């Protein structure tokens, strides 16, 4: 599970303290990388020339010869066969995970829930 602050400057329906949760099923490995937005724009991220935009959530499809290049992967011990590789670019770091699946869950008290209730 990855819990993080949502971006109220880009998505004005969120308050500064609103959080989101990404939950991964059968995670076999994950990592937090040091690449920040400056490194992204300087081409220091191994995916910065491929992914369209910094600060987004991506899933890598197809063969990826660079997937295991970082040496700081943490082994989670799950058993997985699907092996979906996802990336999330935060302001000051990168989160990567290899798992069967993922789901976004809004924290119970943020604007997503308020919008769903009103809508």
pLDDT tens track for 96-111 = 899 988 888 877 665 5
Per-residue burial over 53-70, b = 16 or more CB atoms within 10 Å of its CB, e = otherwise: ebeeebebeeeeeeeeee
- At 30 the pLDDT is 92
pTM above 0.85, yes or no: no
Tokens of 104: 């976004």
- At 109 the pLDDT is 63
Tokens of 64: 């990826």
- At 111 the pLDDT is 54
Segments of the chain scoring below 50 in pLDDT: none
């Amino acid at each position: 599970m990855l819990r993080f602050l949502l971006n109220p400057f880009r998505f004005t329906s969120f308050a500064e303290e609103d959080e989101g949760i990404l939950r991964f099923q059968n995670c076999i490995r994950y990592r937090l990388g040091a690449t920040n937005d400056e490194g992204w724009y300087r081409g220091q991220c191994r995916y910065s020339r491929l992914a369209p935009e910094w600060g987004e959530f991506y899933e890598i499809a197809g063969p990826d010869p660079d997937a295991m290049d970082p040496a700081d992967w943490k082994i989670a011990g799950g058993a997985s066969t699907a092996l979906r590789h996802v990336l999330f670019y935060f302001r000051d770091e990168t989160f990567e995970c290899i798992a069967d699946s993922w789901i976004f869950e809004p924290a119970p008290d943020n604007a997503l829930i308020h919008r769903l209730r009103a809508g």
